[in-house]
Amino acid sequence: MTSEQNKDILTMDLRADGDDWRPTPHGRLLAEVLAKNFFAKGKDVLELGGGVGNHTVILLRQGPHSLVVTEIDDALLASTRANVERNRPPGSVIEYRVADWLSTEGSFDLIVTNPPFCVSGKQNRRYYIDSLILDAHHRLRPGGELVFIQSSMADIPKTLRRLDENGFDAEVVERSRGPFRDYYFEDETFMEEIKHVQDGYTVENGTYMETLAVIRGTLRHYAPPAIAHISASKT
């Protein structure tokens, strides 16, 4: 793909109000990686937490077979819908759903997300990343892919290790370094927690820097042994 085509796929008219998530460097890096790699072409895609649709539009422009995008409540989903409808290619197939993370129906070839982390609101701040690693297999077909972004402060080696433990062949597709967002400093518990994450961040000439990583996991085929206390349909 030429850089001109790449620019076209990233160009869109997005608007945010109220509680809508404004795209940050995390969202922008994931957008660039999605724009360069046609992960969605011909696939059944599930996107979790669509926000203002910044990734949804790119995925739709790549010709998926179908796409389901979720948000946590009606108001946020209305914003996803308005933005996507303003920018999506005619004839693309999309369904908008209110759903709490992976609590939704269907089986898919690809799951894409920028999971909440710093402001996840959970005692385990990694909750949405860990939940994805543990439970995405309920929604993914064997051989299906998980593509998401996270910060070094969420512990990239831990994620890669847990993906492997849970049946994914995983790799970092792209890394990028950048300064902290201002809101990180507003949460003292966050600033304390990240001190304990190995290679979580650096401080360079007084500037706190994080690394962002786009991670791609491919679900290995698996059949539980006959003696497992679970039926094959529940795996």
The site for ligand SAM (CB under 6 A) is made up of 21, 23, 27, 48-51, 54-55, 70-72, 76, 100-101, 114, 116
Cβ closest to ligand SAM, residue 71 vs residue 210: 71
Residue whose Cβ sits closest to ligand SAM: 49
Cβ closest to ligand SAM, residue 99 vs residue 191: 99
Q: How far is the CB of 231 from ligand SAM (least distance, A)?
A: 28
Task: Compute CA distances 171 → 15, 72, 75, 167, 181, whole Å.
Answer: 33, 28, 35, 13, 25
Cβ closest to ligand SAM, residue 86 vs residue 220: 86
Q: How far is the CB of 27 from ligand SAM (least distance, A)?
A: 3
Nearest Cα neighbor of 149 from 111, 93, 109, 190 is 111
Alpha helices in the chain (DSSP H): 3-10, 25-36, 54-61, 74-87, 127-135, 156-165, 182-186, 188-193
Cβ closest to ligand SAM, residue 24 vs residue 164: 24
Q: How far is the CB of 101 from ligand SAM (least distance, A)?
A: 4
Distance CA 74, CA 10 (A): 26
Nearest Cα neighbor of 21 from 61, 63, 56, 60 is 56
Q: How far is the CB of 135 from ligand SAM (least distance, A)?
A: 12
Cβ closest to ligand SAM, residue 97 vs residue 158: 97
Question: What Rg value do the Cα atoms of the chain yield, rounded?
Answer: 18
